[in-house]
Amino acid sequence: MLDIQQLRNELDLVAVKLAKRGYEFPVEQFRALEQKRKVIQTETQELQAKRNTVSKQIGIAKQKGEAVTAMMAEIANLGDNLKQFENQLEQIQSELQKILLVTPNLAHESVPEGKDDKNNLEIRRWGEPRVFDFEIKDHVTIGEQLGMLDFETASKLSGARFNVMKGGIACLHRALAQFMLDTHTLEHGYTEIYVPYLVNADCLRGTGQLPKFAQDLFVAQSGAEIKSDPTDLVDQGVGKLHLIPTAEVPLTNMVSDKIIPYEQLPLKFVAHTPCFRSEAGSYGKDTRGLIRQHQFDKVELVHIVHPLRSFEALEQLVHHAETILQKLELPYRVMVLCSGDMGFSAAKTYDIEVWLPAQNTYREISSCSNCEAFQARRMQARFRNENGKTELLHTLNGSGLAVGRTLVALLENYQNADGSITIPSVLKKYMNNLDRVSI
């Protein structure tokens, strides 16, 4: 959420900045609401103050045994009048809130301007794509020929965009997650966290998925709820649990409604979780293979930091994610997203793209964002600064990495002519010291 003070003070400037990322802010509507708000709020508070003082006087008078009828008469009509103002104010506030809740974050000044992913900037590249001396296969073919990727069974069980892994590939998948967790906890100083995979709507509002992106989520309902009243549609969505689309949601919300002493900063969390995304609106995109699934595993990194440190932390975060690819010896490049391609909550985002030989291109495997105070403001995540004052924290998140896509990269980059997969040296200890996955 943007700072409403900033919107009041420099509305036009903010609107221009939002336009740069392709968002048209309802300037006139906001201005009108603000004008009304100011008048109504002042009036409401004056009436409340009056009610409070007179009520207090009544109390005092009663204790002394004095007559109170005069005072009672004085505020006889105040109640109804006040109620009206309060209702009006509440309505205006909620309309302002609605606008704020769907307004994306402002792009940081270092973010390149642009409309879509074509304007993203490559800032560095690591590793050389391997040259193959045989006809390469994509990960689907490799996995199916090994008998270890079974999309047919998956679709029988759950439909499109699910997968079943078996044997060596299932193990490799597990090994990857374990390797990532170990690296981040032992070498990068993260605290490993286990979190719920079902979260309430407040959490999703806190990180910015709700209210705007409800269609991208899966909603879970307990069987008891369905049975008790199957026709009740009134409370749909609210109070229901959602499957997490990323561990960013539970991890970041750990500090919601909290005031952290500044000595404890920065907090660095890592969690390995499944992620669930409805992928509405991506019909026909990446329909083959593991690239785009309704359920996938991810190792997520979250930083909770002092506002002056957040851009420094972003560089660290990207570096931590890159380390995984370097240790796996997978070639990649780092992109800085342009203003138009960034996610809702981000002020600045780096994407890491891994080389996929079968697609002959780099594909996103990690997205690292500094959300500045945008999420913290939504979830009231604060810290007590050096002067004892409370201040909003800055939050960052990044994949470290998407496990499913890392597996894809591994299968394709480490494939051999005979259809087997070489196991990268850093993974061997998680794979019973095997050298290869083969039939």
Partner RNA sequence: GGAGAGAUGGCCGAGUGGUCGAAGGCGCUCCCCUGCUAAGGGAGUAUAGGCUCAAAAGCUUAUCGAGGGUUCGAAUCCCUCUCUCUCCGCCA
In the complex, which residues of this chain contact RNA (CB under 7 A)? 4-5, 8, 38, 41-42, 45-46, 48-49, 51-56, 58-60, 62-63, 72, 75, 78-79, 224, 239, 259, 380, 382, 384, 390
Report the distance separating Cα 277 and Cα 243, nearest Å. 8
Select 55 or 287, whichever has its Cβ closest to RNA: 55
Residue 68 burial (10 A CB sphere; 0-12, 13-18, 19+): middle
Bond prior to 13 in cis (omega within 30° of 0):
no
Q: Give bridge partners of residue 272 from the DSSP assignment.
A: 299
Please answer whether residues 150 and 164 qualify as being in contact, where contact means their C-beta atoms are separated by less than 8 angstroms: yes
Catalytic residues: 277, 292, 364, 367, 405
CB of 16 to RNA, least distance (A): 22
Report the distance separating Cα 253 and Cα 222, nearest Å. 23
Select 36 or 333, whichever has its Cβ closest to RNA: 36
CB of 374 to RNA, least distance (A): 14
Bond prior to 266 in cis (omega within 30° of 0):
yes
Residue 378 burial (10 A CB sphere; 0-12, 13-18, 19+): buried
Q: Nearest 5°: phi and psi at 177?
A: -60, -45
Amino acid at 267: L
Select 175 or 265, whichever has its Cβ closest to RNA: 265
CB of 133 to RNA, least distance (A): 49
Select 255 or 437, whichever has its Cβ closest to RNA: 255
Q: Which two tokens stand for residue 185?
A: 């906890």
CB of 244 to RNA, least distance (A): 17
Select 42 or 416, whichever has its Cβ closest to RNA: 42
Bond prior to 274 in cis (omega within 30° of 0):
no
CB of 7 to RNA, least distance (A): 10
Select 238 or 308, whichever has its Cβ closest to RNA: 238
Report the distance separating Cα 358 and Cα 414, nearest Å. 12
Select 106 or 148, whichever has its Cβ closest to RNA: 106
CB of 437 to RNA, least distance (A): 29
Torsion angle in degrees (nearest 10) through CA of 104, 105, 111, 115: 10
CB of 53 to RNA, least distance (A): 7
26 to each of 33, 91, 210, 333, how far by Cα in Å? Answer: 11, 17, 19, 37
Report the distance separating Cα 407 and Cα 291, nearest Å. 10
Report the distance separating Cα 345 and Cα 342, nearest Å. 8
Dihedral of CA 217/297/196/312: which sign? negative
Q: Nearest 5°: phi and psi at 310?
A: -70, -30
